[in-house]
A and B are shown apart, each in its own frame.
Chain A
Amino acid sequence: MAEIRRYWPTATAALAFRLVLIFFSGDLNLGARPEVATPLSSLRRLAEGYWLKQSSLSPYAGSMYHGSPLLLSVLGPLIAKRTEDRPTYFYCSLLFVLVDFISALLIRSIGQKLSVSKSQSIKSLSKKEENLENNKNLGDFASLIYLWNPLTIVTCVGFCTSPIDNFMVILTLFGAISNIAPLAAFGFVMATHFTLYPIILIIPVILLLGFGPDAPSFKILKRKRFSWRPVILFIFWTLIWASYVLILSSISLKGVGGLNEMFKKTYGFILTVEDLSPNIGIFWYFFAEVFEFFRDFFLIVFHVNILFIVLPLAIRLKNRPVFLAFVYTAISAMLKSYPSVGDSALYLGLLGLFASELSDMQFSLFLFFGYIGVILLSPVMHNLWIWRGTGNANFYFATGLAYACLQTVLIVESVTSMLKHDRMLKKLKNG
């Protein structure tokens, strides 16, 4: 990749752009777009839950709010603070800009750590240092991709809590790659608490703590010992943080529902797909059509889909835990019940970390224009269906399908070229 000379100015420009957009957020009205805000992450619903809780009702009453009670305590006061001359949710948006910035910094340092380990492994493989120059700016590149990705920007100013969810996932990876077990455990517990799907990240995190960052296949390098100490530490800390979060939640929900209702209304809501309002995923359309007595069966089929893929990938890519984490996030972004563009923002940001490995990826032009096309098409189809009435649900679902196909192609192509890259390294070693 091209050398990035001006990291800080570009990053600052991205943040400034966000701040400018915040002032126009009322006009853009992104929070009402189904692509951006899902029932899980919408800030409007969070405001509703906050008011319910303020009036000593359960925040989950009336099936409006489905997020964590901790977010209510953190973001609620910020939402309630409203002034006439400021745009709606001004303080929340400021917080999200900050969170995005920290996420970008974390991605940057993940990239730096990855490139260090990569240069070490390449050195041990061969004396030719052909790829070394490219690796230096990996972190900068990935973090700029994350910052300037239109999807990230839209998520940031779109009144949804996805920036925080994404931040927690990135924090997990950062903690794992820098071998700080408590931090990794914290990020992991929070991410799982917020959206449930990051629970599959436990495999890459354990691999990362056990084997260290990405390296060429074990067969080539001397087999590294799996170090149990950080893993056990991680599990220990995970238990501590999990019980801590549960205690905090139960305190905050004391008298207005309790933990039982929380699990039912958050995880239960995710797993049983109660809300069938349209989004860019594939669940809503299917479960709106399915017969009632098949519903449970198909719920299991759809959710097991993710779990099926987890294990084979873990075996094949165990030497590249960060890449494995990228693939997992991409798969769950595709197969989750309430996806939004915020999930895509996360995995596209992580994709930048593997720019040099994936330089041989096919169909990149197709994917690039495909993403642009689908993202522009989606609001148009929604307009055609909801506002003009000339289209119907099939029109909108078609863009959802196209989007899912694009993600599939992206995952397949990136995994293929990663394996190809490993084979190339093997040849380098042998030859």
Chain B
Amino acid sequence: MLAKNTYISENALMPGSANSLLSYQDVSEGNKLITDISKIIIDKKRSADLEIPKLLAQYMQSTGAETYHHKLPQPPKSPFNPLHFFLLSAPTTLRSNQSFFATSTVGILRARAGDGKESIVLVSPYDLENGKESLGLAFMVFSLLSRASWLSKDVIWVAADSRFGDYATVSSWLSEYHNPNPNFNPNPNFGPGPDFGPGDDLGEGFKRAGTMACAIVFKVVERREKVGEERENVAIYSEGSNGQMPNLDLVNVVHYLGVHRQGFRVRVGKLGFLEGVRGIRVLGEVMARVGRFLRVLNPDWKFDVSSGEYVEGAATLASSIFAQAVGVPTGPHGAFRDYQIDAVTLELSPKFSLTNENARSAFLLRSGRLIEGTVRSVNNLLEKFHQSFFLYFLTGPNKFISVGVYMIPFALLISLLPILAASLFNFNLTPNPNPNPKNPWRWLKPAKFSLLIQTWAVVVSLLPFYISQIIDLPLNYSFLIWTLCSLLTLVVLYSIFGSPNSTEIEWRLLKAVMIASVSIGLCLMSIINFSTAQIGALFIVSMCLLARPIRGKMDNSIVKLIVSICNLVMVIIRFPLSGFLVREIINGNFGEMNFGVFWESMEYLWGWNSASYLYLFLVHLPCWLLFVHILFHPCN
């Protein structure tokens, strides 16, 4: 409801101010490439993975571009390193003794009007089954740009072989681009991997253009299930790793050109099932009524949103938050974001089947014009994207919530915690006959204990690294070892330093310390990845507020009963594992429930260096343990 319409804040972009130069002649060239590739796939099934890069290189060279191949060996499993986020990124060297290679072909077009210090990247992922249309599309645009006199930034076209996932290919190419490997063999023909033979004259190894101003990844995807679409679709994916987003201007330019020039229907991801939830629909209805009422009060307030719009916005927002919170990029554009390059992935899907020659040409023309327009806009930029927002949520393709708006509710939620901690800390111990009840250093003991638990949490979060070093354990066993080791360390730590319930610690102080550390954790997390902190805060704040011992005294017995039941329920619900368990039970495979799946999902999180993993184990887990301690506090 508070979402603003997007606007393009960098004036230099000037989207759509020039007429598109892309014509049917370019399209026919693109079509030619597509047919050639199809021929290769049909004729030479065995060596198609070698022939396609060769063909692409020929085509690229025909436009006068500098061309080379980049080989990606089968990517090793990314080593687990929870501290990776805080460390400065070190160049990773790829192991080169594998026998499987994905070969990407890269062409660089030197701009005539530019100084070669900046570049725009076009990425078209393909594999043997699909993606030839996106290659054709890319070639179309590329050959047009080779003739364009207005080009002032170099254009790099990466035809990424996405056999091992498009992300891996793109990120390995990027890391090669930015961190030159001293051991790199300058001549690709002598390097490990497939030999392209002496006929393949591509000149000297890895070539570079200037710093990348922006990157556009586009895929052409034929979606068969949705026949009823009345228009061609563009889906924009923009979430990078750990909730990083590209500059809003880039999304805007694509949206503006897509909708207002080429007549696409622009979508951003949304959680479809939310639209079906009854509660949200009712809420949307209520919101619409309130909005209309406010409109009556003051016509200048633009709060009236129709309930349908509200529901759709909520679903999109939820998906945006969720995608950011998981911290896993939604496409190859995430690899660019790690080098501070703004990038989006466009998924173009046609109305009609692509086998129809005419429909394909029309579709390619419009898609090509969209990409050409975007490149032309970015080409106008004089400096990096900096005008618009980096921190925002999308509630629709043309609506967003900026950091200034979404921080407010979060801050309100969080601000409860320090206030409560302070009040608990100053709690007057009237029944206590202690002559010096207000010792200002009385928090030392609980702080020591909380530090102990934090240390334990660090150990738990590091354990999987050592367990994964043991070769080839079944996932179930890995998980079991992990749990056992964690429990063991906890017991050992307790036996050395004494558990809190045996030492005399006032539970209010313990709670104050717990809340203070949680609020630090949440604040840090909100800076690293706001969405994770937002979702986490929803769970954790109520837990912090309600925590009190079961055996504690309370005036009203009914209230006490309710609070105790709430607490007991929360112990079960808020356990980090339980969310996962619930999902398993809902899916109905309770019988053959497999803890290995949990291990797998954790592996997935740390494989992407997700900050959610850190949050789960360094903030949530210790908080939960402290909560359990408070709950079973003896209270004498």
Answer yes or no: do A and B interact.
yes
Given contact pairs A27-B87, A29-B87, A384-B527, A390 touches B390 in the complex (Cβ within 8 A): yes
Determine the chain A residues whose CB is within 8 A of the CB of B391 once the complex forms: 390
* A361 in contact with B86 (CB, 8 Å): no
- Asked if A221 is at the interface (CB within 8 A of a chain B CB), the reply is no
A369 to B86, CA, bound (A): 20
**Quick check: A32 and B517 within 8 Å, CB to CB?**
no
The residue in B391, B425, B439, B440 that gathers the most chain A C-beta atoms within 10 A of its C-beta is B440
Q: Is residue A373 contacting chain B, with contact meaning CB distance below 8 A? A: yes
Separation of A13 and B447 alpha carbons in the complex (Å): 20
Known: A376-B524, A380-B524, A388-B244. A364 touches B88 (CB 8 A): no
Q: Which of B87, B90, B512, B517 has the most CB of A within 10 A?
A: B87
Q: Is A362 interfacial (CB 8 A cutoff)? A: yes
Inter-subunit contact B443/A365 (CB<8 Å): yes
Q: Decide yes or no whether B477 CB sits under 8 A from chain A.
A: no
Task: Give A281 Cβ to nearest chain B Cβ, in Å.
Answer: 21
A364, B441: Cβ atoms closer than 8 Å: yes
Name the one of B443, B513, B516 contacting A364, with C-beta atoms under 8 angstroms.
B443
A145-175 Cβ-contact flags toward B at 8 Å (1 or 0) = 0000000000000000000000000000000
Q: Which of B53-106 contact A (CB under 8 A)?
A: 83, 85-90
Q: How far is the CA of A48 from the CA of B75 in the complex (A)?
A: 38
Interface residues of B in 425-455 (CB under 8 A from A): 425, 439-441, 443, 447
B439 touches A359 (CB 8 A): yes
Q: Within 8 Å of chain B (Cβ to Cβ): is A379? A: yes
B86 and A383 contact, CB distance less than 8 A: yes
Which residue in A361, A368, A387 is a CB contact (below 8 Å) of B447? Answer: A368
Instruction: Check B425–A365 contact: CB distance below 8 A.
Output: yes
Per-residue 0/1 for A58-76: is the Cβ within 8 Å of any B Cβ (1 yes, 0 no)?
Answer: 0000000000000000000
The reply on B528 being an interface residue by CB < 8 A is yes
What A residues does B512 contact at CB under 8 A?
365
B527 lies within 8 A of A377 (CB):
yes
Cβ–Cβ < 8 Å partners of A381 in chain B = 527
A residues near B439, Cβ cutoff 8 Å: 359
What residues of A have a CB within 8 angstroms of the CB of B523 in the complex? 373, 377
Cα of A354 to Cα of B16 in the assembled complex, Å:
70
Does B407 count as interface, using CB distance less than 8 angstroms? no
Residue of chain A at shortest CB distance from B389 = A390
Inter-chain CA distance A390–B512, complex, in Å, is 33
Docked complex Cα distance between A364 and B391 (Å): 35
Q: Bin chain A's interface residue count.
A: 20 to 34
Q: Are the C-beta atoms of A390 and B244 separated by less than 8 Å? A: yes
Whole-angstrom CA separation of A88 from B249 in the bound complex: 44
Contact A32 B88 (CB under 8 A): yes
Q: Which residue of B lies closest to A360 (CB)?
A: B440
State whether A379 touches B425 (Cβ < 8 A).
no
- A365 adjacent to B516 (CB under 8 Å): yes
Q: What is the bound-complex CA distance between A373 and B518, given in angstroms? A: 11
Interface residues on chain B, number (Cβ under 8 Å): 27
If the complex has contacts A27-B87, A32-B88, A388-B244, are A376 and B520 also in contact, measured as CB distance less than 8 A?
yes
Q: Whole-angstrom distance between the alpha carbons of A29 and B528 in the complex?
A: 20
Q: Is the CB of B443 within 8 A of A373?
A: no
User: Does chain A have a CB within 8 A of B340?
Assistant: yes
**For residues 245 through 302 of chain A, which have their beta carbon under 8 Å from a beta carbon of chain B?**
none
CB distance from A128 to the nearest CB of B (A): 15
Whether, in the assembled complex, A372 has its beta carbon less than 8 Å from a beta carbon of chain B, the answer is: yes
The answer on a CB contact under 8 Å between A361 and B440 is: yes
In angstroms, how far is the closest chain A Cβ from the Cβ of B9? 16
Complex contact A387–B520 (CB within 8 A): no
- Please, how many angstroms separate the alpha-carbon atoms of A219 and B396 in the complex? 74
A372 contact set on B, CB distance < 8 A: 517, 520
In this assembly, does A431 line the interface, its C-beta being within 8 Å of a C-beta of chain B?
Answer: no
Nearest chain-B residue to A362 (Cβ)?
B440
Chain A residue nearest to B243 (CB atoms) is: A390
Q: Chain A's nearest CB lies how many Å from the CB of B454?
A: 10
Q: Roughly how many angstroms separate A32 CA and B89 CA in the complex, as a whole number?
A: 12
Interchain CA distance A250-B391 in the complex, whole Å: 55
- CB pair A380–B528 under 8 Å, yes or no, is yes
Complex: A381 Cα to B527 Cα, angstroms: 8
Interface string of B502-525 (1 = CB under 8 A from A): 000000000011001100100110
Q: Is there a chain B Cβ closer than 8 Å to A9's Cβ?
A: no
For the complex, give the distance between the alpha carbons of A397 and B524 in Å.
16
CB-CB under 8 A from A388, the residues of chain B are: 244, 340
Assembled-state Cα–Cα distance A209/B99 (Å): 76
Bound-state CA distance A380–B441 (Å) is 29
Within 8 Å of chain B (Cβ to Cβ): is A312? Answer: no
Nearest to A361 among chain B residues (CB) is B440
Q: Which of A343-388 contact B (CB under 8 A)?
A: 359-362, 364-365, 368-369, 372-373, 376-377, 379-381, 383-384, 387-388
Please give me the residue from chain B that is nearest to A363 by CB atom. Answer: B440
- Are B425 and A380 neighbours in the complex by a CB distance under 8 Å? no
Among A27, A362, A383, A390, residue most surrounded by chain B Cβ atoms (within 10 Å): A390
Q: What's the least CB distance linking A26 to chain B, in Å?
A: 10
Q: Tell me the residues in window 490-512 of chain B with beta carbons closer than 8 Å to chain A beta carbons.
A: 512
In the assembly, what is the distance between CA of A368 and CA of B516, in Å? 10
CB pair A369 B440 closer than 8 Å: no
CB pair A359–B87 under 8 Å, yes or no, is: no
Minimum distance in angstroms from B187 CB to a CB of chain A: 30
Cβ–Cβ contact B89 & A387, under 8 A? yes
Residue of B nearest to A395 (CB): B527
Please measure, in the bound complex, the distance between the C-alpha atom of A361 and the C-alpha atom of B447, giving whole angstroms: 17
B465 → chain A closest CB, angstroms: 12
**In the assembled complex, how far is the CB of residue A418 from the closest CB belonging to chain B, in whole angstroms?**
14
**Bound-state Cα–Cα, A429 to B90, Å:** 64
| Residue among A32, A362, A368 with the highest chain B CB neighbour number at 10 A | A368
What CA separation (Å) do A44 and B625 show in the bound complex?
43
CB < 8 Å neighbour of B517 from A29, A360, A369, A383: A369
Interface string of A384-419 (1 = CB under 8 A from B): 100111100000000000000000000000000000
Q: Is A369 a contact of B520 with CB atoms below 8 Å?
A: yes
B440 A359 Cβ-Cβ under 8 A: yes
Closest A residue to B438 by beta carbon equals A360
Chain B residues near A361 (CB-CB < 8 A): 440-441
Q: Given the complex of chains A and B, what is the CA–CA distance between A359 and B517 in angstroms?
A: 23
With both chains docked as a complex, state the minimum distance between the C-beta of A75 and any C-beta of chain B, in angstroms: 24
Decide yes or no: A373 and B520 within 8 Å by CB, A29-B87, A389-B340 being known contacts: yes
**Whole-angstrom distance from the CB of A17 to the nearest CB of chain B?**
12
Distance of A138 Cα from B439 Cα, bound (Å): 18
With A and B bound together, what is the CA distance between A381 and B523 in angstroms? 12
Contact, CB under 8 Å: B527 / A364: no
Chain B 319-356 near chain A by CB (<8 Å), digits 1 or 0: 00000000000000000000010000000000000000
Select the residue from B439, B441, B512, B523 with max chain A CB neighbours within 10 A: B441
Closest chain A residue, CB of each to CB of B445: A2
The list of the 3 closest CB pairs from A to B, nearest first, reads A389-B340, A390-B390, A373-B520
The 14 sampled A-B contact pairs (Cβ below 8 Å) are: A365-B425, A365-B512, A368-B443, A368-B447, A369-B516, A372-B517, A373-B520, A377-B527, A379-B86, A381-B527, A383-B85, A383-B86, A387-B89, A389-B340
> B residues near A, CB below 8 A?
83, 85-90, 244, 340, 390-391, 421, 425, 439-441, 443, 447, 512-513, 516-517, 520, 523-524, 527-528
Additional A-B contact list (15), CB under 8 Å, known A377-B527, A387-B89: A28-B87, A360-B440, A362-B440, A365-B425, A365-B440, A365-B516, A368-B447, A372-B517, A373-B520, A373-B523, A381-B527, A384-B527, A387-B340, A388-B340, A390-B391
